[in-house]
Structure 1
């Protein structure tokens, strides 16, 4: 239960739901016990009046006795109905308090988990897969809700009913009470054992279902590759195999359940037989009345459902504890990137790296080694280098997605770790290497970084990103719905929509992380011309592989192995006749070869 202590704050928050809920549980169970006593009195009335009715055979008063007898039974029956109606009303109130409280706790927990997820750093998401994060926020929270709602409700209900029923039984006759309750401990043990087996098999079914769902989701997401390699028959066979595993586990669960319910009914029947047999002997001895036997049979049947709930409640608590442990593992994680407290106005875009060294914490790969450079406000700076040289790492560090191991990064002369994180990042426009678009309209994807959507601004951003003509050719234009991850669009269109999303913010610093690779040279030139106009007086950083893209940059940084090996303008770097000049010559040669092949 130590993991479930986390929920105490919610119980305190909703205490005015729990207290009335417990009150309604007690009242509803009182109205559940009283009808058994009424039935006992009614049964005694029947047995006694039948004898009196027989004695008055042939007398006129016999009809009067019959009328009194009938009216008494009617009133007893009506009283039982009223008592059960009152029980139903209080059961309704019980569910409206405790179950509704569990839904409020579920809502609060999901919001807390989601908010905490957003506070965690980028490295956290590199270490954990999306499916696991989603399961902790959905499946695990649902299991915890089953504990704070149904499990607690049935546990309190069972406890109160047990106390009331056992007190009522022993107040009538302790011997009969002991014999009537004799099979119930055995029933509790069987239920606990069977529920453990059911829980284990349910877990296996859930795991198999998750594998099956993941398999289907992955294959449908990669349907183009699947069809291109003609692997439909193979995947169909794998799916059938996974489905067979799910079917086998499900059949095993059904067999256990099929054995469980007859066993439970057998033990309940045994308890009833013992009640009638021992009770009959007690009646002969004059210790109890026949009505008490009827009363006890009602009590035994009333205890059957709560006893069967004990195993289920125990299972719910075990599962909730395991789920809450998984939830706590992430909720107790502290963000690796802690926001500074310094409030700043609009940044100018003067960026300075001072002896920066950085190693990715999850892989141990040293991405940058003692790097120093400066970018002045309004400069167009390009970063070029081989794959894995540390170009994207520079962009991540500028936006403080990670903190450096050594050295300092300063914005307008202030260390960025002292600045308010959200305010600092909000002034960047970032176009990542791997474009991500949401399953929404094109307009909403472009205006993603804004609180309010302005149609004119969206259109202008699309024009600046050279994607406007593509969009208006669609049937629904800017209202076109994009598929998952923007699959509706081509690679170049996705990149340009992503560029429009960055430009519409009118950022103080714009970072392009190799995001022009999927566009042709003519479109690239148009975007760069628009970029020069939009970002005039603001800082632009372009990470690229093609030298033709960055020739006009004010400064070019050449990276290799996490170090800056050259820096300067295009003309200066060619004069150095070093790595940059070699890359330039290789790309010219490649372009000439491609042109010759085309001819």
Structure 2
């Protein structure tokens, strides 16, 4: 229960749900116990008065006696029905308090986890896979809810019913009570063991279900590749194998589940037999009545489900504890990207790197080595280099996805760690190398960066990114849904929508991380011409492996393995006959061949 202590703050928050739920459980138990006593009284009434009725055979008073006798039985029957209806009403109240409480806590916990996820740095997402992150906010929270709802509800029912019922049973007959209760511990233990086996096999089924789902998702996502390589039959064979494994695990679970109810019914039957046997002995002795036997049989049946549920709820608590431990691992993970002085100010756009070296904490790869450069407000810098040279790391550091441990980064002569994160990032427009579009309309994807943005501003951003005509060519224009990860758009269209999303917020600092890699030369030139106007008055970082994108920049640096090997303007670098010139000539030759 140590890990589950984290949930105490929520139990305290919804304490009135818990208190009222407990009260309603107690009241519903009262309406369970009283009918058994009414049955006892009714049976005793029948047994005692049936002899009198027979003795009055042939006497005129017999009919009158029967009417009175039958009226009394009807009153008992009506009271029993009334008790059942009242119990049903209060069980409804129990669920409207305890189960509702569990749903409210589930809602709060999911929001807390999701909010915490948003605050965690990029390194967290590089260390953990998406499936595991998703499971902790869905499957694990659902298991915790089962502890907060059903486990607490049935636990309260068991405790309160035992506290209320056992003294009543012992007050009638301690011998009969011991006989009636003797099989119940065995029942609870058996259910616990069987349920644990069911849980383990259920988890195996879940794992196979996940593998099967992943296989199907990959097959459909890569259907073009499957068809291109004519591997449909191989895919069907693999699916059949995964499906057979799932079937095998399901059949193993079914075999265990088939023991569940026979075991329950067998032990309940044993308890009933012992009650009837011991009760009959007491009736013969004259210490108990037939009504007492019927009353005890009802009591045994009342205790059966709470005792049966003890094994189940114990398993629920164990699963919840394991799930909450997994949740706590992430909740206890704190972000190392924090603001030192929480500075909030409008940026001018000066960026300065002073002897910056950076090693990715999750991989140990040293991406930058002693990098220094300065970009003044309104100027532009192009960072050119081959794959793995450290270009994208620069953009990650400027947007504070990571913090440097060696050297210093300053923006407007203020250490970047001093800025309020929200304020800093809200003034940076970033076009990532790996374009991601949400499964939404083009309009909402472009306007994603702002809470309230005008139509004109979105349309202008689309025009500046040279994607406006493409959008208007769609039947639904800007209301066209782009599908999962923007699948309905071409690579170039996705990149241009991503550029429009970055510039619609009119950022002080604009970073283009290989943003034109998926467009052809003609489209690239059109976008670059638009960017000339966009870049006026704002600091721009152009990260690219294509020299053609660097021409717009006031200054160019060339990175190789995290080191600056060349620095200057386009013209001055061409004169040096260095790496930049080699890249320029090779790319020009490639473009001429392509033409």
Q: Superposed, which structure 2 residues align to 1:529-568 within 5 Å? A: 529-568=529-568
C-alpha deviation, 1:67, in angstroms: 0.7
CA RMSD of aligned residues (A): 1.1
> 2:236 is matched with which residue?
236
> 2:70 is matched with which residue?
70
C-alpha deviation, 1:163, in angstroms: 2.3
Contact 2:381 2:542 in 1 (8 A): yes
Partner SS state of residue 447, structure 1: helix
C-alpha deviation, 1:340, in angstroms: 3.5
> 1:256 is matched with which residue?
256
Please give the TM-score of this superposition, normalised by the length of structure 2. Answer: 0.98
Alpha-carbon separation, structure 2, partners of 1:174 and 1:317: 33
Partner SS state of residue 189, structure 2: helix
Gaps of 5+ in 2: none
> 1:444 is matched with which residue?
444
> 1:184 is matched with which residue?
184
Partner SS state of residue 506, structure 2: coil
Partner SS state of residue 410, structure 2: strand
CA deviation vs aligned residue, 1:425-482 (integer Å, no higher than 9, x gap): 1101000001000000000001110101311111111100000111111100111011
Alpha-carbon separation, structure 2, partners of 1:278 and 1:342: 77
Alpha-carbon separation, structure 1, partners of 2:257 and 2:168: 33
Contact 1:351 1:411 in 2 (8 A): yes
> 1:528 is matched with which residue?
528
C-alpha deviation, 1:245, in angstroms: 1.3
CA deviation vs aligned residue, 1:305-357 (integer Å, no higher than 9, x gap): 11211111011101101110010000000102112333332101100000101
Alpha-carbon separation, structure 1, partners of 2:162 and 2:231: 61
C-alpha deviation, 1:164, in angstroms: 2.1
Contact 2:532 2:552 in 1 (8 A): no
Partner SS state of residue 295, structure 2: helix
> 1:505 is matched with which residue?
505
CA deviation vs aligned residue, 1:95-133 (integer Å, no higher than 9, x gap): 101111111100000000000000000000011111111
Alpha-carbon separation, structure 1, partners of 2:591 and 2:193: 73
Alpha-carbon separation, structure 2, partners of 1:72 and 1:591: 103
CA deviation vs aligned residue, 1:357-409 (integer Å, no higher than 9, x gap): 10001110000001111011111211101110100001111111101120000
The range that moved more, 352-361 or 213-222, is 213-222
The answer on 1:45 being equivalent to 2:45 is yes
Partner SS state of residue 387, structure 1: coil
Alpha-carbon separation, structure 2, partners of 1:531 and 1:548: 13
Gaps of 5+ in 1: none
Contact 2:39 2:294 in 1 (8 A): yes
Alpha-carbon separation, structure 2, partners of 1:259 and 1:594: 71
Partner SS state of residue 100, structure 1: helix
Q: Superposed, which structure 2 residues align to 1:2-17 within 5 Å? A: 2-17=2-17
The aligned length equals 595
Please give the TM-score of this superposition, normalised by the length of structure 1. Answer: 0.98
C-alpha deviation, 1:581, in angstroms: 1.4
C-alpha deviation, 1:222, in angstroms: 2.1
Contact 1:340 1:421 in 2 (8 A): no
C-alpha deviation, 1:593, in angstroms: 3.5
> 1:166 is matched with which residue?
166
Contact 1:352 1:410 in 2 (8 A): yes
Alpha-carbon separation, structure 1, partners of 2:500 and 2:593: 34
The answer on 1:388 being equivalent to 2:388 is yes
The answer on 1:297 being equivalent to 2:297 is yes
CA deviation vs aligned residue, 1:118-173 (integer Å, no higher than 9, x gap): 00000000111111111100111011011001110000001111222222211100
> 2:460 is matched with which residue?
460
> 1:478 is matched with which residue?
478
> 1:418 is matched with which residue?
418
